[in-house]
Amino acid sequence: MQHTKGWDGYGKGPFKFYGDFDAFMQPFPQEDREEYPDMFALPKGVFEVTINKPLGIAFEEVVADRPNGVLVDYLVEGSNAEGTGAIKPGDVLVAVTAAKEFGPRWERKLLPCIDMEFDIIMSAIGSNCPRYHPKKKNDVVCMFMRPSDADEAQVREFLKFFDIPFDHVFRTG
């Protein structure tokens, strides 16, 4: 199952703005929920947090298990991330929202980043700004995997649902 309605036109449709997982999945009909129940819940060991910027997370590159990706090294004391009470050192960032502008249109998508380079992930986080948010907030949605609780293969399969086609941002009509 893919969310093809989101690719019908850049900057249009119900999948233009990613606010959180439950709101993103809301447009799908009940028959999809019955046929693909695993797609309507985050995998075990994965959680999503919306954090205002500045986040207050020190990320480090994952080098032991994979060539790319980032994990939480530590949280800045008193930071927005620490205030969530959910994030712990060692959590792996598996997806993050990123905003992309193309002419007068824009989108904020959830971007699987489990295999992305550090600089690209940091750029994705930085792309979230009030001008791309309907309520002028300065937040970022982060999806984390807690390695001790998650099956990474299952998480990777789940993230395929959010893959963005390479030619997506170049469509003009």
pLDDT value of position 65: 60
Within its chain, how far is the Cα of 120 from the centroid?
13
pLDDT value of position 7: 45
Which residues, listed in sequence order, are joined to residue 119 by a DSSP beta bridge?
none
pLDDT value of position 165: 65
What span, in angstroms and rounded, lies between the C-alpha atoms of 85 and 91?
A: 13
pLDDT value of position 173: 38
Model's pTM, two decimal places? Answer: 0.85
> Does a cis peptide bond (omega within 30 degrees of 0) precede residue 54?
yes
Residues of the chain with pLDDT under 50: 1-8, 169-173
pLDDT value of position 167: 58
pLDDT value of position 39: 83
Q: Which domains does the chain have, with CATH numbers?
A: 4-164 (2.30.42.10)
pLDDT value of position 3: 45
What span, in angstroms and rounded, lies between the C-alpha atoms of 168 and 146?
A: 30
pLDDT value of position 161: 87
The per-residue pLDDT for range 76-92, each reduced to its tens digit, is 999 999 999 999 999 99
